[in-house]
Amino acid sequence: MVSHQLEHGDDFAVEPCTRSAAPDWYFAAGTTVEGSQHYLALFNPTATTPSSTSTSHRHRGQQPDGLQAMVVPRRSRITVAVQDSVPRQERIAARVHARVGRVVVERTQIFDGTAPASGPTRQGIAVSLGARSPAEAWRVPSGTTENGGSASLALANFATTDASVEVHVVLVGDQSLAPQTVAVPSGGVTAIDVTTRDAARYGIRGHRHRPRRRRPSRADRAEMTASWASTSTTGVASALGTTVTARRWVIPQPAVDADAFLTVSERERHPVTAAILPASFVDRRSGCDQ
């Protein structure tokens, strides 16, 4: 397992690396509001084939001319400033398609602390690797409204038909919320203000979101974004939903001067026991405990 770290001033962001390239990548939680910068990094890891890529952005069905037919040379990367082509948009979902070859795509979102016309004031940097394919169900294990945090769940629909998504919220302890049904239009993105819905009813410490379609189609992407603007904590973060569960997870510890927290989410209806082990206790050949 490998991760990399980006720094911007006093802020930093950590994101796991991917093991393979793909022709398509999907993002749900972008923005280009005042005070923000939205970048897509396109990397071509192959040694023989230049990749020709195009991007489509889902807010009003825009496909800017400046983001079409971009060539990524072999074993190199290019960075695309989305805010230059799609300025001042509160919500942006993006799909990057490689017409030739395969690429790896990552999004970097930077906020400078400027107060936008609407929404929270944010400062910091967040990095997110895209999803390689759409799916009907996503699980987001992380999320918190502690220390004045504000959290939003973005749902993107890249299909040609409208979708109805059912969002389940799991709270720490025995608390629970009724499922919420959210409409996501064709070629659009819908954001749910999780902070308002959850914190108004409970003084929660954490939550897990599990969006599921009632009318399934292969065009879903779910992503959580959070920000903190209090005097004790300032920053932003993003978390990609996952489509799989597993018994073992490998998490690299970033070399930063900050507290680290691990969120464990369990989807079954019976309790389980989880152990946190250092890397020296894991057999690298099998992935099992020594």
Cβ-contact 74, 42 below 8 angstroms: no
CATH number for the domain whose boundaries are 3-281: 2.60.290.11
Residues 257 and 272: their CA atoms lie apart, in Å, by: 32
3-class state of residue 209 by DSSP = strand
Domain boundaries defined on the chain: 3-281
Residues 6+ apart with CB under 8 A from 11: 123, 124, 125, 235
Cβ neighbours for 20, distance < 8 A, ≥ 6 positions apart: none
Please enumerate in sequence order all residues whose Cβ is within 8 A of that of 284, keeping only pairs 6 or more positions apart, or say none.
none
Each residue's pLDDT tens digit, 230-266: 555 678 888 777 877 777 777 777 777 777 777 777 7
Residue 43: pLDDT band with limits 50, 70, 90: very high
In this predicted structure, what is the pLDDT of residue 199? Answer: 52
Confidence (pLDDT) at 286: 54
Q: Residue 202: its pLDDT value, please?
A: 45
Instruction: Round to whole Å and give the CA distance between 238 and 256.
Output: 18
Tell me the pLDDT of the chain averaged across its residues: 78
Q: pLDDT tens-digit profile of 174-224?
A: 666 788 888 988 888 888 887 766 554 444 444 555 676 544 444 467 887
Cα torsion angle, 31, 34, 37, 40, sign: positive
Kindly state the average pLDDT of the residues 86-105: 89
Residue type, 169: V
